[in-house]
């Protein structure tokens, strides 16, 4: 009888040419297959791609068909930043035109979080608007127009900018966050924004937008109809009692951040109005946790209308010199103050003003003083009154004036009251 090979066993010759030895391997044991980068599962490759820059991701997509397929998965194109720079005037890398066209053609409908970073050239701003005008089949949720240098959007044609922005406002219908500082956005385009995105808008930053007029009251329309708005940034000339009352209505959610830029380019030419205390009080009753941030770029004679009454500001930044009188009013009328930064002051010590701020501003946790003067003893008294609640204390050594207390003693004494090691900041010597 002819004996056949068993079905449950396979025979392979051992190494060695003349050996009669045979090794037995069960048939049900699967031989290991060779793993390659191209055989990685889609979700693993996708996870890796999310950590790569766009350039590295594009290079990796040429490895194999599987990786190229992952490269075009919509999840990778939810968030994108267009960098538009002119080689002659900027050292920053620019998004390649071919890639821009590929994104518009294949991934426009996937884009949700989009930003444009442009340099100081008008051509870059115009290129950004050209891309915006082509995003017609998209559901963008956040939009940021960022000028990395001088605001080039202000130099381009206003009609071109407004037209491109309006296309996006009309087609998205789900915008929740918009940053359009330093742009020629105007009142009609704000109306289009509200008409199409009032239910979803939560953040609007539009500081330094000179074509938006307080008389047209379009910003009031934003507050009246966008009840989900949680963060708003604008120039002081757009702030009004009506706007604060609209943000305090029962229909409106609690406001979280209100940023106000108070700017004057030419001394004496800008007239600043006063906001009523009752309007501020209404806002705080409605949104007790709101952060009110004010950036001042004024000349000393222009501070007259501010802080004559109690103002619920939480963060104050002075980019130019501020008078002693102004700092004294802050100590009296800003009880919610959390952070104070003073770029410069005159040649008179600020001891009394700082001590008053320490007494009245019980929430103060951060302070920075630039070109000011404070006696060492006055500074020590301020720190002693504030104690360990000062999480940030930035004072240039040149600010401190020796009197009964010497600068050499400041380090140890301040460190003791703060509960941590502290040194004054040193002026760079380059």
Residues 319-356 pLDDT 10s = 988 888 999 999 999 999 999 999 887 778 899 999 99
In a domain, 417, yes or no: yes
Q: What is the CATH number of the domain that holds 423?
A: 3.80.10
Between 388 and 21, the more confident residue is 388
Q: Which residue has the higher pLDDT, 11 or 193?
A: 193
Residue 389 has pLDDT above 50, yes or no: yes
Kindly tell me if the per-residue pLDDT of 24 is higher than 60: no
Distance CA 219, CA 187 (A): 8
- Considering the domain architecture, whether residues 82 and 208 belong to the same structural domain is answered as yes
At 301-317, the pLDDT tens digits run 889 899 999 999 999 99
**HSE-CB of 133 using CA atoms within 13 angstroms:** 12
Q: Among 153, 186, 212, where does a domain finish? A: 212
Inter-residue contact 274 to 247 (CB < 8 Å): no
User: Which of 195, 212, 229 is the C-terminal boundary of a domain?
Assistant: 212
- 63 domain-assigned: no
* Contact partners, residue 428, CB within 8 Å, separation at least 6: none
Q: Model confidence at 77, in pLDDT bands (50, 70, 90)?
A: confident
* Band of residue 16 on the pLDDT scale cut at 50, 70, 90: very low
Q: Is the residue at 255 inside a domain?
A: no
- DSSP secondary-structure letter at 201? -
Q: Are 158 and 193 in contact (CB under 8 A)?
A: no
Lookup: tokens for 225: 């109809």
Enclosing domain of residue 137: 77-212
Distance between CA 57 and CA 375 in Å, rounded? 57
User: Do residue 208 and residue 334 come from a single domain?
Assistant: no
What is the pLDDT at residue 106? 84
Provide the 3-class DSSP secondary structure of residue 152.
helix
Give the 3-state secondary structure of residue 370. strand
Statement: residue 36 has pLDDT above 80: no
In a domain, 129, yes or no: yes
Inside any domain, residue 223: no
| 4 occurs within a structural domain | no
For a pLDDT cut of 70, what percent of the chain falls above it? 87
**Does any domain span residue 208?**
yes
Give yes or no for residue 292 having a pLDDT over 90: yes
More confident residue, 6 or 52: 52
Averaged confidence pLDDT in the chain: 86
130/427: higher pLDDT: 130
Between 215 and 166, where is the model more confident?
A: 166
Distance between CA atoms of residues 326 and 362, nearest Å: 19
Q: What pLDDT sits at residue 406?
A: 66
What pLDDT, in 10s, does the model give residues 81-100? 899 988 766 667 788 888 88
Nearest CA to 138 out of 164, 163, 113, 102 is that of 113
CA 429 to chain centre: 32
Q: Give the pLDDT of residue 26.
A: 54
| Short-list 382, 390, 376, CA closest to 422 | 390
Are 205 and 317 contained in the same domain? Answer: no
Between vectors from CA 244 to CA 192 and to CA 170, what angle results, nearest 5°? 10
Overall domain count for the chain? 2
| Single pTM value for the model | 0.84
Distance between CA 165 and CA 115 in Å, rounded? Answer: 13
Say what the pLDDT of residue 33 is: 53
pLDDT for position 1? 46
Q: Say how far apart CA 78 and CA 113 lie, in whole Å.
A: 6
- Which residue in 300, 344, 359, 296 sits closest to 325, CA to CA? 300
Of the listed ranges 57-61, 188-192, 272-276, 385-389, the least confidently predicted one is 57-61
427 compared with 325, residue with greater pLDDT: 325
Domain membership flag for residue 379: yes
Is residue 312 located within the same domain as residue 196?
no
Confidence class for position 110, pLDDT limits 50, 70, 90: confident
Average pLDDT estimate for 68-91: 82
Name the token pair of 209. Answer: 């937008």
**So what's the pLDDT on residue 5?**
47
Domain boundary (163, 188, 212) is at 212
CATH number, domain with residue 126 = 3.80.10.10
Q: Which residues contact 145 (CB under 8 A, 6 or more apart)?
A: 115, 116, 118, 128, 153, 179, 180, 181, 183
Per-residue pLDDT, averaged over 170-193, amounts to 93
pLDDT of residue 58: 79
């Amino acid at each position: 009888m002819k004996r056949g090979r068993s079905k449950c066993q396979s025979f392979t010759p051992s190494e060695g040419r003349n050996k009669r030895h045979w090794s037995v391997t069960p048939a049900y044991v699967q031989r290991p297959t060779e793993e390659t980068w191209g055989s990685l599962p889609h979700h693993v490759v996708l996870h890796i791609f999310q950590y790569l820059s766009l350039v590295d991701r594009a290079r990796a997509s040429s490895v194999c068909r599987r990786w190229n397929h992952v490269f075009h998965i919509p999840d990778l194109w939810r968030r994108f930043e267009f960098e538009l720079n002119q080689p002659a005037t900027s050292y920053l890398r620019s998004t390649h035109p071919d890639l821009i066209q590929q994104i518009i053609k294949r991934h426009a409908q996937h884009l949700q979080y989009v930003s444009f970073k442009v340099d100081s050239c008008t051509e870059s701003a115009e290129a950004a608007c050209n891309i915006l005008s082509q995003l017609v089949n998209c559901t963008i949720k956040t939009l940021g127009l960022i000028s990395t240098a001088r605001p080039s959007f202000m130099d381009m044609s206003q009609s071109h900018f407004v037209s491109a922005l309006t296309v996006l406002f009309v087609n998205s219908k789900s915008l929740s966050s918009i940053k359009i500082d330093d742009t020629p956005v105007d009142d009609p385009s704000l109306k289009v924004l509200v008409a199409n995105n009032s239910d979803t808008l939560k953040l609007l930053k539009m500081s330094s937008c000179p074509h938006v007029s307080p008389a047209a009251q379009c910003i009031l329309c934003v507050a009246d109809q966008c009840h989900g708005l949680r963060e708003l940034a604008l120039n002081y000339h757009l702030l009004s009692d009506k706007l604060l009352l609209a943000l305090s209505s029962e229909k409106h959610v609690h406001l979280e951040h209100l940023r106000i830029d108070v700017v004057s380019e030419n001394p004496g030419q800008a007239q600043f109005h006063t906001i009523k205390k009752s309007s501020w009080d209404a806002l705080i009753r409605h949104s007790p946790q709101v952060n009110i941030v004010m950036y001042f770029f004024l000349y000393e004679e222009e501070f007259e209308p501010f802080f004559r009454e109690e103002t619920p500001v939480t963060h104050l930044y002075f980019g130019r010199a501020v008078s002693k009188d102004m700092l004294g009013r802050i100590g009296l009328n800003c009880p919610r103050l959390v952070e104070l930064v003073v770029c410069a002051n005159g040649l008179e010590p600020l001891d009394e003003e700082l001590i008053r701020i320490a007494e009245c501003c019980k929430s103060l946790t951060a302070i920075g003083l630039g070109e000011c003067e404070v006696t060492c003893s006055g500074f020590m008294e301020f720190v002693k009154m504030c104690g360990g609640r000062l999480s940030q204390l930035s004072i240039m050594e040149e600010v401190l004036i020796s009197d009964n207390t010497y600068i050499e003693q400041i380090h140890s004494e301040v460190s003791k009251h703060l509960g941590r090691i502290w040194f004054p900041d040193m002026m760079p010597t380059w």
